[in-house]
């Protein structure tokens, strides 16, 4: 019985990690749009390339934040959460 | 001549002050936990537990490494600013002036002349964060991959923000939460607390995920070279040839670029938030 409980827990952790990485969609679209606009800006005014590039990199790093949140949650769910949850289960049933 | 020898000695001591903390941190790590087969992904090691009434105080690897970074940066600043002259002669004074000028320019551009006393704080944040992230190049656990280190910096920034918001009076600070209509109060409070949380998570998440991804790729390359090149005779079969080169390219992005970028963003957000919170700015 306890194997089943642990199996369900690991399954939940793995599924959760996968679902958490859906957060990557948002920054992907956002950064793509930012890069597209930056390309347009450079095409229109090639002399402002360095200013556009530095602003773009700063903005991309900011927009990446939500994706990083998802990644952190995924990493924690895979590497940290299973051990913690199994410990909690074991102490709950008194083993 | 005696003066010159004395200057050399002090220079040497200061240089040792930059290098020795990192060596000590590496030695401590190696002595505490020798390298082992396979990969492990874990948080910072706990070196020492000091028993206290409420809960034990943990002395972790991240804390020790950040002390090393602090001492090394202190030594570097002392080394660069020794023998200052009105007309710069030595290279180190030119470097020191360049750093100070850059930070002053950054603060003046983003916060305005009024906030110039903040330049040392911003420079400290930039230097600490960049040096902490770059310390992973030496094989140390980067202190910025531990959320408690970053959270400390974010709390300092949050305190400064709140200090400047309170300058317009406690009443109007509290009233600010009930705008535009009182219904928004919970949302405004969450938004206020979210500032340090998002600042610390952004930095910590970037550095930590970089470390984890680099470890995973190293392990994958080891396995791949074992299965692809395992047929080579003798000891050659055990050498992970695929691990040569590729991890260095990744470290260029994850350690160098990402670390410096996040340090810059953290300092930038600190400046912008503090300048925004000042009631005189509006």
- Residue with the bigger pLDDT between B237 and B25: it is B25
Angle between helix axes B258-277 and A49-63 (nearest 10 degrees) is 90
Identify each DSSP E strand in chain B by its residue range: 46-50, 57-60
The pLDDT value recorded for residue B128 is 92
Rounded CA-CA distance B91/B93 in Å is 5
Whether B255 shows a pLDDT value over 90: the answer reads no
Rounded CA-CA distance A41/B215 in Å is 38
B208 at interface of A, judged by CB pairs closer than 8 A? yes
Q: Are B10 and B60 a contacting pair, CB within 8 Å?
A: no
The pLDDT value recorded for residue B176 is 81
A53 at interface of B, judged by CB pairs closer than 8 A? no
Which band of pLDDT confidence, cut at 50, 70 and 90, is reported for residue B275?
confident
Q: What does the pLDDT look like over A6-56, one tens digit per residue?
A: 899 999 999 999 999 999 899 999 999 999 999 999 999 999 888 888 888
Whether B79 shows a pLDDT value over 80: the answer reads yes
Which residue in A2, A16, A8 sits closest to A79, CA to CA? A16
Rounded CA-CA distance B72/A65 in Å is 30
Annotated domain spans of chain A: 20-93
Which band of pLDDT confidence, cut at 50, 70 and 90, is reported for residue B208?
confident
Query: Taking residues B190-194, what's their average pLDDT?
Result: 87
Q: Nearest-CA distance from A58 to chain B in Å?
A: 7
Rounded CA-CA distance B134/B65 in Å is 12
Whether B257 shows a pLDDT value over 90: the answer reads no
pTM: 0.83
The pLDDT value recorded for residue B234 is 67
Rounded CA-CA distance B190/B178 in Å is 13
Rounded CA-CA distance B13/B32 in Å is 27
Percent of chain B whose predicted confidence (pLDDT) is above 90: 15
CA angle A78, A80, A83 (to 5 degrees): 100
Percent of chain B whose predicted confidence (pLDDT) is above 70: 94
Q: What number of C-beta contacts closer than 8 Å exist between A and B?
A: 36
Query: Taking residues B2-23, what's their average pLDDT?
Result: 87
Q: Classify domain A20-93 at the CATH class level.
A: mainly alpha
Which band of pLDDT confidence, cut at 50, 70 and 90, is reported for residue B272?
confident
Q: In this complex, do B41 and A79 lie within 8 Å of one another by their Cβ atoms? A: yes
Whether B69 shows a pLDDT value over 70: the answer reads yes
The pLDDT value recorded for residue B37 is 62
Q: In this complex, do B212 and A75 lie within 8 Å of one another by their Cβ atoms? A: yes
Which residues of A are less than 8 Å from B208 in CB distance? 72, 75
Whether the predicted interface score ipTM is above 0.90 = no
Average pLDDT, chain B: 85
Query: Taking residues B257-263, what's their average pLDDT?
Result: 88
Whether B26 shows a pLDDT value over 70: the answer reads yes
Which band of pLDDT confidence, cut at 50, 70 and 90, is reported for residue B6?
confident
């Amino acid at each position: 019985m306890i194997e089943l409980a642990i199996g369900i827990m690991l399954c939940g952790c793995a599924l959760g990690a996968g679902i958490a990485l859906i957060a990557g969609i948002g920054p992907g679209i956002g950064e793509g749009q930012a890069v597209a606009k930056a390309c347009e800006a450079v095409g229109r005014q090639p002399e402002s390339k360095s200013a556009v590039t530095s602003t773009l990199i700063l903005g991309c790093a900011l927009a990446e934040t939500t994706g990083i949140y998802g990644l952190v949650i995924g990493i924690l769910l895979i590497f940290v959460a299973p051990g913690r949850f199994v410990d909690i289960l074991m102490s709950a049933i008194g083993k | 001549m005696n003066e010159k020898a004395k200057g050399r000695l002090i220079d040497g001591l200061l240089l040792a002050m930059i290098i020795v903390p990192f060596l000590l941190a590496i030695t401590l790590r190696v002595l505490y936990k020798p390298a082992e087969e396979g990969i492990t992904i874990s948080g910072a090691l706990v070196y020492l537990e000091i028993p206290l009434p409420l809960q034990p105080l943990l002395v972790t690897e991240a804390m020790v490494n950040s002390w090393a970074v602090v001492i090394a940066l202190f030594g570097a600043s002392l080394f660069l600013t020794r023998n200052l002259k009105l007309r710069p002669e030595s290279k180190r004074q030119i470097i020191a002036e360049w750093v100070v000028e850059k930070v002053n320019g950054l603060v003046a551009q983003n916060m305005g002349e009024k906030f110039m006393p903040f330049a040392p704080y911003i420079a400290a944040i930039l230097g600490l964060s960049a040096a902490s992230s770059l310390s992973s190049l030496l094989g140390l656990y980067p202190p910025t991959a531990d959320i408690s280190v970053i959270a400390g910096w974010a709390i300092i920034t949050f305190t400064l923000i709140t200090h400047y918001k309170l300058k317009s009076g406690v009443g109007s600070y509290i009233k600010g939460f009930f705008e535009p209509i009182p219904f928004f109060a919970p949302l405004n409070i969450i938004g206020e607390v979210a500032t340090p949380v998002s600042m610390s998570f952004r930095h910590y998440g970037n550095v930590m995920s970089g470390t984890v991804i680099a470890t995973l790729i190293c392990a994958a390359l080891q396995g791949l070279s074992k299965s692809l090149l395992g047929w080579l005779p003798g000891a050659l079969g055990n050498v992970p040839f695929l691990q040569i080169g590729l991890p260095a390219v990744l470290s260029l992005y994850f350690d160098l670029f990402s670390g410096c970028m996040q340090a810059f963003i953290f300092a930038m957000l600190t400046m912008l938030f503090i300048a925004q919170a000042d009631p005189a700015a509006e």
